[in-house]
Chains A and B, each alone.
Chain A
Amino acid sequence: MLICEDISFDIDGQKLFSNINLNIKPQKDLLITGPSGVGKTTLLSILCGIQKPTTGKITYNSIDLYNLPENKIDEFRGKNLGVVFQNFNLINTFTVKQNLEIAVSAIDTKKSIPFFNILDRVGLANKSHIKVANLSIGEKQRLAVARAFVGDPKWVFCDEPTSSLDDKNANIIANLIKEESLRCKASLVLITHDSRIQTLIKFSKILKLGDEL
């Protein structure tokens, strides 16, 4: 279970958001919406252990995330969380397959990863040896999703996964995220200001930043 208590974040002494309380049960999902600039991406970074909050506590199954040493936070993220970043954060000089391989090497798993199956599921099986720099936006988005799920995470965070895509590709990505979450039995936290997402995925909870839960 993911529990956030009284999360707040200040930038240069100015409050970006405060008193955010969340409680996400296993295999449940949460949609975080709000207009640009309210701190959605910052909140996601906080939840993923990338950005320490100004105040508050985040616990994953009783593990106080920011009470862990920095190295352990990185390791925890690699082993338990899958993140689809807004700008994908793929390594452009690597091939499609290498991007998955490097993600797997970070989690130090001993089980063999069926890369072909994963790429097949996201429709990139025939592009495994192509460099990321040569992929289209939609393909990069699919690869970012594939990478987020490659280690079978327990919590998945997606930042604006459909906002730069047309309706057709948005549909593909939303379905993909939904299917992969179900396959991994992962809780999903999705952040977007794209209003189409709610028609594509049914969320059990919705948080509008600035509004009450």
Chain B
Amino acid sequence: MIVGITIITVSILVNQVTKETFSKNNPGLDAVVGAKGSPLQLILSSIHHIDIPTGNISYKNARKIIKHPAIKSAIPISLGDNFQNFRIVGTNKSFLKLYKANLISGTAWSQPMQAVIGYNVSKITKLKINKFFVGSHGLIDTGDVHAEQPYKVVGVLKKTGTILDNLILTSLDSVWNLHSVTNKDKLEITSLLLKYKNKTSSFSFPRLINKGTNMQAASPSFEISKLLKLTGNAHRIVDYLSVLIMILSFLGILFTLLNNINERKYDLAVLRTLGFSRWKLFSIILSEGMIISILGSTIGLIFGYIVYESMYYFSIVGRSLELGQLSFLNDLFLIWIIVNIIAFITCLVPCIKVYKQNIRSTLLNS
């Protein structure tokens, strides 16, 4: 039972938190334009900061898209470096508005090599205002640092519960300076985060980009729903497996209790002769079964949560996931109730057997 509930708990937590995180990380973006490649990879790298980018696009071309009449807002981002595995994102201040970010302390950047750090970044790396840090090349800490050009922390963001908490934001110029890109025609960015003026553009605009340029436009909602559908199948298999384990657990409880009362039928008959009523024995056996079930299901929930928390803290991917407002607790509680109701029904079988026991024949046969 503990194993079954643990698996169900982990499955629910991962499923729910993944869905919640994907939804929270996207503040209403309609499209992401980036280098050609996997559209899902582009979305994951540009919005959710999980995957690596598909490549870079020319800033000159990007500016043409920004000025396109179908576009309401376009925010360029440039990835490439990290600090202790937290991604450094070169962007403009509209990015802060996009996520409705507020500062706990300091200000937004005003010069190159100034950085605003997310809440989790500050908490984990202990970086504070006016502290300096050096970025490492790549999106995972490899130790290959840009020691000659440190960043200065000028602001710390309030907790948002989104990916913003795990990002270090700076100006695009900082990224370009750090990588010694001086020729304005050769400036590159990773992607553009777009909102359309009109939702009808969601059909025509991507086609325009995908067919007419060497870039691609991907829809976050479409790509993420595709991903969730794929992972949903895996979740369903895990869920079926855990239901199977649960059924085996219930059968385990049933046969344990039946075997138990079979071994103790003489003792139970003796208890009746001493004055224990049928109902008293019925409730004793029911209590035994329910104690096993309640303990098993509760320990399973706790184990599941511990496994989930471990996954969260020990995986790099986990850093890009953010625990929600514990809305999943309702689902877990519902499962806990359902499991124990089924266990209750299962326990009734041996209880009824005890209730119907003929004490005289049991004692005579013993």
Contact = CB atoms under 8 A, between A and B. Distances in A.
A85 interface: yes
Interface string B70-81: 000000000000
Interface stretch (A31-39, A67-75, A203-211): A67-75
Interface string A29-51: 00000000000000001001011
B274 interface: yes
Given A89-B270, A90-B270, A91-B267, A74 B276 contact: yes
A75 B277 contact: yes
A102 interface: yes
A51 B267 CA distance: 18
Contacts of B278: 70-71, 74
Contacts of A107: 275
B331 to A, nearest CB: 41
Give chain A's interface residue range (CB within 8 Å of chain B): 20 to 34
The CB with the most chain A CB atoms within 10 A, among B273, B280, B363, is that of B273
A83 interface: yes
Given A89-B270, A91-B267, A50 B360 contact: yes
Interface string A57-79: 00000000000001110110111
A213 B230 CA distance: 88
B185 to A, nearest CB: 90
Q: Interface centre among B269, B274, B276, B366, by most A CB within 10 Å?
A: B274
Contacts of B269: 89
Nearest to B363: A89
A77 B271 contact: no
A151 to B, nearest CB: 8
A79 B275 contact: yes
B363 A74 contact: no
Nearest to A50: B360
Given A50-B359, A51-B360, A85-B363, A74 B275 contact: yes
A85 B273 contact: yes
B273 A89 contact: yes
A83 B278 CA distance: 19
A93 interface: yes
A77 B280 CA distance: 14
Given A71-B277, A71-B279, A74-B276, A106 B271 contact: yes
A74 B270 contact: no
Contacts of A74: 272, 275-278, 280
18 contacts: A50-B273, A50-B360, A51-B360, A71-B278, A74-B275, A75-B275, A75-B277, A77-B275, A78-B274, A85-B273, A85-B363, A89-B269, A89-B273, A89-B363, A102-B274, A106-B271, A106-B275, A106-B280
Interface of B: 267, 269-280, 359-360, 363, 366
